[in-house]
């Protein structure tokens, strides 16, 4: 179970869910159930991309911080 959670890629998950929602919106427009405008479509795409970027920023592990700076570096330029 822990292994499955480790392998889960939240960015792919968010992008997949966003694309399904975007596709559903387009399908509704194609079927005539809604009348999609450029403004609403642009806002929806921006929301999907923003969500993916947000998840990417929150979930992707940052590399470990470097060790403290060695003080001898200050003397190298002398």
Partner 1 sequence: MNDEERTEDQAPEEPETEHRPAEEHETEPTAVLEEGSKPKRLLRSGDDRMIAGVAGGLGRYFQVDPVIFRIGFAVSVFFGGLGVLAYLALWLFVPADPEPGQEASLAPAQRSRLLGIGVIVVGVIVVLSAAGSFVFWGDWGWGGDGPWGLLVLLLIGAGVYALLRDREPGKPMTVGRGLAMVGLAVLAAIGLGALALVSAFTAATGSGTVIALVVIGVGAMLAIAAFRGGARWLIAPALAIAIPLGIVSAADISFAGGIGERYHQPPSRAELADRYELGVGRLVVDLRDIDWSRESSDVPLEVDLGIGEAAVIIPESVCVSPDLHVGAGEIELGSGKTDGVDLDEVSATAPTAGPALLLEGEVDLGTLRVLTEYDEHDGPPFGRFDEHGSEDRAAVC
CB of 17 to partner 1, least distance (A): 6
DSSP 8-state code for residue 55: H
Contacts by 60-66 with C-beta closer than 8 Å and gap 24+? 60/11
SS3 48: helix
> Taking the complex as a whole, how short is the minimal distance between the CB of residue 2 and partner 1, in angstroms?
13
Interface pattern 3-42 for partner 1 (x via CB under 8 A)? -x--xxxxxxx-xxxxxxxxxxxxx-xxx----xxx-xx-
Q: Cα separation of 44 and 48, whole Å? A: 6
Q: What does the binding site for partner 1 look like in residue numbers (CB under 8 A)? A: 4, 7-13, 15-27, 29-31, 36-38, 40-41, 43-47, 49-50, 52-54, 56-58, 60, 62-63, 65-77
């Amino acid at each position: 179970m822990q292994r499955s959670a480790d392998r889960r890629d939240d960015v792919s998950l968010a992008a997949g869910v966003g694309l399904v929602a975007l596709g559903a919106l387009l399908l509704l427009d194609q079927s005539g159930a809604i009348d999609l405008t450029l403004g609403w479509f642009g806002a929806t795409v921006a929301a999907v991309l923003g969500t993916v970027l947000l998840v990417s920023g929150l979930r992707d592990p940052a590399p470990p911080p470097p060790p403290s700076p060695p003080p001898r570096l200050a003397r190298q330029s002398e």
